[in-house]
């Protein structure tokens, strides 16, 4: 369930914010192998199933913007709900997730 502070962010907008040094905390909630094969530059890897107990170690306060993505969407939506349970109020999803990032031809780290 999305909250008022939640807005999806397009790959292009996120790429611009990263390039401008205005990046939100970006969480990749895919598996270790998927993350190692390529991820959004600067993304932190926290598998979706570990969000509840790792949320307190994120370099963000509950009021900061967080962008979550997975391969296609389901794991990211679960992670957003779990982050809400931990008090995070501004959790966006990357529109199109990693598959959308790749379709846009944007750079990846590995």
Contact between 42 and 109 (Cβ < 8 Å): yes
Catalytic residue of the set 9, 29, 55, 70: 70
In the 3-class helix/strand/coil scheme, how is the chain assigned residue by residue?
CCCCCCCCECHHHHHHHHHCCCCCEEEECCCHHHHHCCECCCCEECCHHHHHHHHHHCCCCCCCEEEEECCCCHHHHHHHHHHHHCCCCEEEEECCHHHHHHHCCCCCEC
Let me know if 68 is a catalytic residue: no
Residues that are catalytic: 70
């Amino acid at each position: 369930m999305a909250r008022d502070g939640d807005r999806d962010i397009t790959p292009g907008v996120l790429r611009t914010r990263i390039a401008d040094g205005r990046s939100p905390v970006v969480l990749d909630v895919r598996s270790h192998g998927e993350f190692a094969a390529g991820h959004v530059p600067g993304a932190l890897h926290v598998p979706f199933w570990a969000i509840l107990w790792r949320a307190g170690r994120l370099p963000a306060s509950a009021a900061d913007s967080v962008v979550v993505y997975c391969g296609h969407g389901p794991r990211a939506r679960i992670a957003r709900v779990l982050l809400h349970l931990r008090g995070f109020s501004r959790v966006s999803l990357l529109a199109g997730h990693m598959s959308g990032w790749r379709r846009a031809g944007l750079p990846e780290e590995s």
